[in-house]
Structure 1
């Protein structure tokens, strides 16, 4: 009557025997992750236990191919974890026969070949992790066609295909990915071409990574519809010719990078309506060329320094609804181009000068 077997996180070593296929027909969950096992996955023993709902062999030293038997019989399988091994070969097409699969993790292996174009058959798929392999695009195809199929996975929340030599361009169909998708990682994947405007359709997206590719053109304005909730990477400070940076209306948190003050060409900086906290970088108060600066509706604290006088060209300055405190520095009177200033809903103090008695 065994239903649940977990022996992971033990220095078991050794190989999986074929007799593992003789486990009870009631077995539902099999966890042998991080157990120092090696060798091959038994060709028929595992993938013919029809009662299995969860298989976890991650963080081992398994090698060889994922068994390509066409006799796959896992009608109840919901989670398959084979990541962080040494598996090679192609992703078998029959994997989509497991129609109830919700999580497929094949990351951090040495898998080659194409990402199958039939993954859309996994209608209940929520998490797909294929990163850190050697997966490629279909020969003679410019677009990454597997995105077309994944648009049928209407419950997909987390997709990572980073660190693969995919080589190709992102199709417009990427915008057809599930409206429930929250995390999309396609960094270091040899992607070229433009960022499709349709990427703005993914209304629930909170984390997006396209770093380390060969993308060209402009960042589409449609990306402003997304509600990203990450920190600002310091890599953005390498954009020495950046003139406008609009990150307002998201859920960004953490520290505002000090190096933003080094962007001498920056004229518009909008960081309002996020979740930034801690102190505001001193370097930004010294940006003599910036025209518009807004950090309203965050949780920024500390005093406004006398360095505010360094904002010599500033036209509009919005610091409202934060936790700024202390005196408003007198050097703010040096901002001769200032047309709009909002310091409301903070904790500023006023300094009063009473007349001496006569």
Structure 2
């Protein structure tokens, strides 16, 4: 998830920088510090060319902003983001006594963070994100940090533990430590930072439990701790975070039931709890989260039915409930599908690999016309695919494989211009494969294996310019394999367990028979033999190897 930078940058800072006219009495201290900083850098794009202009005051150098202090201009901001700078950070930055904001993100800086940066008493923003910095986070950064508001070391190679003296930074509003190699536990004293709005520490190696004290941070809007090794249960105290907008605890080792208090977080926009071992049911109270746009609970151990109160989530765009133990046995258990017709912005619907049975309701065709991904595979769903599925013009993926679906494939599926993946394998479909599938010009994968299809392979499949996977094995298809398939950029082709013949093999036999005729008049002449064999070669080599 790449939205953390937006979250951190949205934390407002009240102090505005201002540029003062340089005076002749300006001290050289800041200029010398900047020059020393530059000596450790490589500037392949020439972004700091102005720094080499001897006639230009340092306050006019690129990325430098000054403010007036004691009648002299002093550096207040150093903003050199996304300039392809290489090299190491110089301790001389600590001599920029009045520095408020240090932005060096999205460069190629390496080495460690100088401990001397902890000597900057006026520092409000420290952004060193998206570099190659390593080593431990210096504890000195938090000894004199009473004005620090934004601390962002995300997307680096930082190791060790999170320092426990974060609590000294009483004005801190945002912590960004994601995509590093940090270990150990989340310090509980982080909860003493009462002005915190964002904690983003995903993709590290953190262990231990989530400190329940985090529930005291009443201004917190973003809590992203996913992709770590956190264990225990989700603290019920997180339900006190009434301002919370984004909660991501995914890909950890969390267990137990989802605390009922979470369903009171009516400001939530994103709830991401995937890939844990959470148990229990999805309660009807989930309908309280009326602002939710992103709900992902897949890869857990959730049981019971899917509540119809999901229909209250009218802003929902993404719904992932797959890889749980959710069940449905009758029409009443499928009422949630009718309710979701209220979610007119839904683009992803995934209930795959659960224990859902019964007949697929026709109301599935009433879901949002914005739907892009429809995943219902890996269940025990029976019934037919409604013809109206062909009205979802935004669909890119349909996966209904490994169910008990029967009947025919609606020819209307051939009218989906954006469809890239159609997986209907391991069901009970019968009759012919619709020739209209050959109209799916965006199709990349087609899996119809393990059904009861009869007839011939439609030659129109050879008109699919992007098709690289075709699985028709384990059906009752017969006839010849269309040579037109040779025009597809196939990487995977499985036609096994059918009654197919290869046209080029029968053609070789025909040439052999005609060449062995006793009568010279009936015998094929050499020129025709060569031409025929070339055609056979082209047809054969145009196809990747398959299984018969």
Q: TM-score, normalised by structure 1?
A: 0.72
2:245 matched to 1:53?
Answer: yes
Gaps of 5+ in 2: 1-172, 174-195, 471-476, 491-502, 510-529, 537-548
Does the CA-based 8 Å contact 2:399-2:423 persist in structure 1? Answer: no
SS in 1 for 2:532: helix
Match of 2:403 in 1: 213
Q: What is the Cα-based RMSD across aligned positions, in Å? A: 4.0
**Cross-structure match for 1:32:** 225
Higher relative contact order (CA 8 A, sep 6+): 1
Correspondent of 1:22 among 195, 212, 216 = 216
Q: Give me the whole-angstrom Cα distance separating, in 2, the residues matched to 1:29 and 1:109.
A: 23
Shift of 1:74: 2.9
CA distance in 2, matches of 1:296, 1:307: 12
* Superposition pairs of residues 166-315 of structure 1, within 5 angstroms: 166-227=356-417, 229-230=419-420, 243-246=432-435, 247-250=437-440, 251-253=442-444, 265-266=455-456, 268-271=458-461, 274-276=464-466, 289-290=479-480, 307=504, 310=507
User: CA shift at 1:9, angstroms?
Assistant: 2.2
Structure 1 residues 239, 331: closer, same or farther in 2, change over 3 A? farther
Misfit runs of 4+, over 6 Å: 238-242, 295-300, 332-335
1:69 deviation in Å? 3.5
Residue 222 of structure 1 deviates from its aligned partner by: 2.4
After superposition, the Cα gap between the structure-2 partners of 1:134 and 1:234, relative to the gap in structure 1 and judged at 3 Å, is closer
Tell me if structure 2 keeps the 8 A contact 1:205–1:226: yes
Which SS does the other structure have where 1:331 is aligned? helix
> Whole-Å Cα distance in 2 between the matches of residues 213 and 174 of structure 1?
16
Whole-Å separation in 1 of the counterparts to 2:285 and 2:379: 25
- Is the helix fraction higher in 1 or 2? 2
Name whichever of 62-71 and 264-273 sits farther off: 264-273
Which structure's CA Rg is the greater one?
2
**Residue in structure 1 matched with residue 46 of structure 2 by the alignment:** none
For 1:80, the equivalent position in structure 2 comes to 271
Are residues 240 and 102 of structure 1, via their aligned partners in 2, closer, same or farther at CA, if it must alter by over 3 Å?
Answer: closer
- With structure 2 as the length reference, what TM-score do the two structures score? 0.48
For structure 1, which runs of at least 5 residues remain unmatched after alignment? 281-286, 301-305, 313-328, 336-358
Question: Where does residue 325 of structure 1 map in the other structure?
Answer: none
Q: 127-136 or 96-105, which moves further after superposition?
A: 96-105
2:349 aligned counterpart, secondary structure: strand
SS in 2 for 1:119: helix
**Counterpart-to-counterpart distance in 1, 2:309 and 2:454:** 49
For 1:293-343, what per-residue CA distance to the aligned partner results, in whole angstroms no more than 9, with x for missing partners? 76699779xxxxx9497499xxxxxxxxxxxxxxxx8229999xxxxxxxx
Per-residue CA shift, 1:194-218, capped at 9, x if unaligned? 2222222222111001110011212
Counterpart Cα distance in 1 of 2:307 and 2:420: 30
Whether the 8 Å CA contact 1:269–1:294 is kept in 2: the answer is yes
Match of 2:157 in 1: none
Rounded to whole Å, the distance in 1 between the matches of 2:272 and 2:321 is 11
1:107–1:132 contact (8 Å) kept in structure 2: yes
In 2, the alpha carbon distance for the partners of 1:253 and 1:86 equals 34
